[in-house]
Amino acid sequence: PQPESDNSFKYADLSVRLAPPHLLQPKPDVRDLVFGKYFTDHMFKVFFHEDLGGWQAPEITPLESLVLHPASKALHYAVQAFEGMKAYRGKDDKIRLFRPELNMQRLNHSAKRLGLPTFNSTEFIKCLSRLISIDQEWVPHCETASLYIRPTVIGVDPTLGVATSRSALLYAILCPVGSYFHGPVSKGVSLLADPSYTRAWPGGCGDSKLGSNYAPTIHVQEKAEEKGLQQVLWLYGGDMQLTEVGTMNIFMFIINEEGEKELITPPLNGLILPGITRMSILNLAHEWNQFKVTERIITMEEVCRLTSEKRILEMFGAGTACVVSPISNIHFLNQFLHIPTMEQPSPIYDMILKSLLNIQYGYVPNHPWIIKV
Ligand code: PMP
């Protein structure tokens, strides 16, 4: 973790302006929740103006449009970073955040990469908790849904120079979300692995959560969908290293050369977003000590070989949006590699999924990864 910013906005300065009752939106039925389509009644905002001494007083306001100068740096040079985290309502009706300090650290890391100001994690978590408690009725009353939290920071300097933005806006909006993928996970996803595309490279920004990492992926995702596939498996380099799957980190569970079971995920070498789900899965797997756990490079050559030797047991993606997403097929250079994730009698992806959900929905009392709102 990096040292926390001293020059932060403070929760103690937070002001709240509530939406008038006639502007409160009806809450959608949980069965109709489309990811990121419905927003709650309020939002968080705090401006940074270098000329006015840095961070200003934070505020909670009704959800409203932003007014930006057309020259704002965010609109020209993608000076934008964001986070994705969730609040979960447990059986006890308490609302929980899952390791939010890690999202705050990652947002500060991303902001720094863009020359944007950083903030104190604890102060921002307190502000977010207040926002969530104001909109608490929007946190779904069921365990197949949650409240997605989207903190965003943008450079709003109204000048076209490719230079540090002297003004910034940090804001957060909330949306109730169901499960990320349509339909049950019982089928597993099919991936497009096309080595002619890459999402990150050494010295680049793959380890930061910048909007500019995502825009160029949309076209490739469309290509996957045209082929009837659900997600992109992002490869890197001449040896076609597996890096991530869609907006998830990737895991492979195999029988290794020694005949042991081993869980493998690519290392944090700058090409990979350091997922909080990824870290949590590694933490759990080390704690369980039931199989070997390794962070190392995986290549497509290895996946092809292990597939033909029937030594891949499972592959899955992991991220906040869908927690764990089992993989069934990889479309790679005109061949279909079948991954038998869904054929395992007691798959570890399911054990991991249930363990994480049990923590997030409060079945594990006083878990250290949980902060109650
Ligand atoms: N990789 C990418 C590219 C992502 O966008 C995400 C989602 N933030 C992840 C991995 C998973 O990260 P997390 O577990 O923190 O959601």
What are the pLDDT digits (tens) for 92-130? 999 999 999 999 999 999 999 999 999 999 999 999 999
Q: How far apart are CA 294 and CA 193, in angstroms?
A: 23
Q: How far apart are CA 92 and CA 361, in angstroms?
A: 9
Is the Cβ atom of 58 under 6 angstroms away from ligand 1?
no
Confidence of residue 185 (pLDDT cuts 50, 70, 90): low
Is the Cβ atom of 195 under 6 angstroms away from ligand 1?
no
Measuring CA to CA, which residue among 76, 238, 61 is closest to residue 162? 76
Measured in whole angstroms, how far is the alpha carbon of residue 112 from the centre of its chain?
18
Protein residue closest via CA to atom 12 of ligand 1: 275
Both tokens of 226, joined, read 């045209």
Average pLDDT over residues 129-138: 98
CA distances from 370 to 18, 143, 199, 361 (A): 28, 16, 32, 10
Average pLDDT over residues 187-214: 97
Average pLDDT over residues 173-197: 82
Is the Cβ atom of 105 under 6 angstroms away from ligand 1?
no
Is the Cβ atom of 266 under 6 angstroms away from ligand 1?
no
Q: How far apart are CA 150 and CA 269, in angstroms?
A: 26
Both tokens of 339, joined, read 């991954």
Rounded to the nearest angstrom, the distance between the alpha carbon of 124 and the centre of ligand 1 is 20
Closest ligand 1 atom number to CA of residue 209: 5
**The pLDDT value given to residue 187:** 85
Rounded to the nearest angstrom, the distance between the alpha carbon of 85 and the centre of ligand 1 is 10
**Prediction ipTM score:** 0.99
Is the Cβ atom of 320 under 6 angstroms away from ligand 1?
yes
**The pLDDT value given to residue 35:** 86
Rounded to the nearest angstrom, the distance between the alpha carbon of 232 and the centre of ligand 1 is 14
Is residue 193's pLDDT more than 70?
yes
| 143 Cβ contact partners less than 8 Å away, ≥ 6 residues apart | 91, 357, 361
Closest ligand 1 atom number to CA of residue 103: 15
Residue 20, CB-side half-sphere exposure with 13 Å CA sphere: 1
Rounded to the nearest angstrom, the distance between the alpha carbon of 296 and the centre of ligand 1 is 18
**The pLDDT value given to residue 30:** 84
**The pLDDT value given to residue 5:** 64
**The pLDDT value given to residue 274:** 98
pLDDT in tens, 234-274: 999 999 999 999 999 999 999 999 999 999 999 999 999 99
Is the Cβ atom of 248 under 6 angstroms away from ligand 1?
yes
323 Rama class: left (phi>0) / alpha (psi -120 to 50) / beta: left
**The pLDDT value given to residue 2:** 56
**The pLDDT value given to residue 1:** 52
From 198, 249, 265, the mutation candidate for ligand 1 (largest count of ligand atoms within 8 A of CB) is 249
Is residue 182's pLDDT more than 60?
no
Both tokens of 127, joined, read 């502000």
Confidence of residue 3 (pLDDT cuts 50, 70, 90): low
Length of the chain as a residue count = 373
**The pLDDT value given to residue 246:** 95
**The pLDDT value given to residue 215:** 97
Rounded to the nearest angstrom, the distance between the alpha carbon of 57 and the centre of ligand 1 is 30
Average pLDDT over residues 36-48: 96
Is residue 228's pLDDT more than 80?
yes
Confidence of residue 4 (pLDDT cuts 50, 70, 90): low
pLDDT in tens, 309-356: 999 999 999 999 989 999 999 999 989 999 999 999 999 999 999 999
Is residue 38's pLDDT more than 80?
yes
pLDDT in tens, 50-90: 999 999 999 999 999 999 999 999 999 999 999 999 999 99
Rounded to the nearest angstrom, the distance between the alpha carbon of 84 and the centre of ligand 1 is 8
Rounded to the nearest angstrom, the distance between the alpha carbon of 319 and the centre of ligand 1 is 5
Rounded to the nearest angstrom, the distance between the alpha carbon of 249 and the centre of ligand 1 is 6
Q: What is the pTM of this model?
A: 0.95
From 207, 269, 320, the mutation candidate for ligand 1 (largest count of ligand atoms within 8 A of CB) is 320
Q: Find out whether 324 and 316 touch, Cβ atoms under 8 Å.
A: yes
Protein residue closest via CA to atom 5 of ligand 1: 247
Rg (the chain; Cα; Å): 21
Measuring CA to CA, which residue among 210, 181, 205 is closest to residue 84? 210
Average pLDDT over residues 172-178: 96
